[in-house]
Amino acid sequence: MAVYVYSITAATHPRSLDGLVGVGEPPSALRSVCAGPLCAVVSDAPADLRPKRRDLTAHQSVQERLMAEGTVLPLRFGLTAPDDSAVQTALSERREEYTGALTALEGCAEYHLKAAVDEDALLRQILLDTPEARQLNDEITGGDASPDLPLALGEMVAQEVQARQDALATGITEALRPYARQELGSGPTGKDFLSVSFLVDREHEQLFLTAEKGLAGALGDEVEIRLYGPLPAYSFV
Amino acid sequence: MTVVPQSQTSVSRGGGSTGSLYDILELILDRGLVIDVFIRVSLVGIEILKIDIRIVVASVDTYLRFAEACNRLDLEAGRKAPTQLTDIVGEVTEGGAHGKSKGALSGAMEAVTDTLRGGHDDEDEDREKAPAPKRERPARRPARRREE
């Protein structure tokens, strides 16, 4: 029977998963499959797995519990192996890689940061700072019907938006970089101009959080910073 | 910029409300260890989420949307802006580019929201409305990428 695989831990990890359930409806039972110094947390795989809230939450809850008790290698959502012995084979074959990764992540957590800027505030500032844009805007709102003007204004403003967001993104990342071991950014999503993960070790956690707090304060309420963590190190496995 | 005591930053610790799950969705779906001999279940929804959530910025649609947003701004609180005209310009453009770019965005958001929040977690209903936002035109060049 196919098994859904959540995480890899050291065999010495307590893996006390009481009260948690696996993916699927009805929820599957969690168990461990071990080989040598490594164990994988698995459950029976449901026949028709989809990225539903319940299943994503189950996957995430397992990682969080394991993280609270030790070091965990979180797997990407949705991975299944044909059976328990395939899991054992994978653990044995990649034993060094996984034990190495577990050692490297010891005492570390991921923090994920997203930042968005209030668009009206940004545009207002751009118009106030850029006489050319201001003039175009005045001409358009003053009734000039030429269809070229909005396009010209829009392009000018879009470039300026881009430049300012890039500068903000760089500034935020550089302010936090000293307290992180690694970082990994991804493309902007939705309204967020910045989406970046940091790997932070316990020693630097308070400094990191203090720096982030200071940053959020300094940027004011026109820049919204959301920080999530400590999270299992999804981005650094 | 004004300096205010920060109130918006939230470190969502553990356990996760739906809100925080939503914001770390890309980590759970897109990152994490992959064991290549294992099979990733075919998760059609995931691919759609990944594509549609990346909003494109450098395009004519975007330019027009920005221009319109600028036109609507009241730059000086004291100044009496020709608001009526601004409103008319806004309405005219609304049916065009603005409507479309906004549609793509809310389409993606709805898809994600359906998957995550869904109001109720009913299996069959969820399956019916698998996230498949309509896209009115192919995505343009992703100008804002900052991939590493």
At B49 the pLDDT is 52
Where is pLDDT greater, at A207 or B144?
A207
Interface contact flag, A151 B67, Cβ < 8 Å = yes
SS3 A154: helix
**Strands, E assignment, chain A:** 3-10, 31-35, 38-44, 73-74, 79-81, 108-117, 182-185, 192-201, 223-231
The total of other beta-carbon atoms located within 10 Å of residue A123's CB is: 24
Per DSSP bridges, beta strands B11-12 and A223-231 are parallel
Q: Which of B1, B38, B122 to mutate to test the interface with A (most CBs of A within 10 A)?
A: B38
pLDDT tens per residue, range A147-184: 889 999 999 999 999 999 999 999 999 999 999 999 99
Where is pLDDT greater, at B103 or B136?
B136
At B113 the pLDDT is 35
* b/e burial code for range B76-101 (CB count within 10 A of at least 16 → b): eeeeebeeeebeebeeebeeebbebb
CA R_g for chain A: 24
Domain A109-236 bears CATH identifier 3.40.50: no
Residue B142 clears pLDDT 70, i.e. is over it: no
pLDDT band at B15 (very low <50, low <70, confident <90, very high): very low
β-sheet bridge partners, residue A189 = A192
Where is pLDDT greater, at B120 or A90?
A90
Among A78-87, A215-224, B33-42, where is mean pLDDT lowest? B33-42
Q: How many angstroms away from the CA of A69 is the closest CA of chain B?
A: 13
Q: How many angstroms away from the CA of A185 is the closest CA of chain B?
A: 6
> Does pTM top 0.90 for this prediction?
no
Domain ranges for chain A, please list them. 3-106, 109-236
Cα separation, A125 vs B2, in Å, equals 12
Interface contact flag, A61 B12, Cβ < 8 Å = no
Interface of B with A in 8-67 (CB under 8 A): 8-16, 18, 20-21, 23-35, 37-41, 43, 45-46, 49, 53-55, 57-58, 60, 62-67
Contacts of A200 (CB under 8 A, 6+ apart): A108, A109, A110, A111, A179, A180, A181, A208, A229, A230
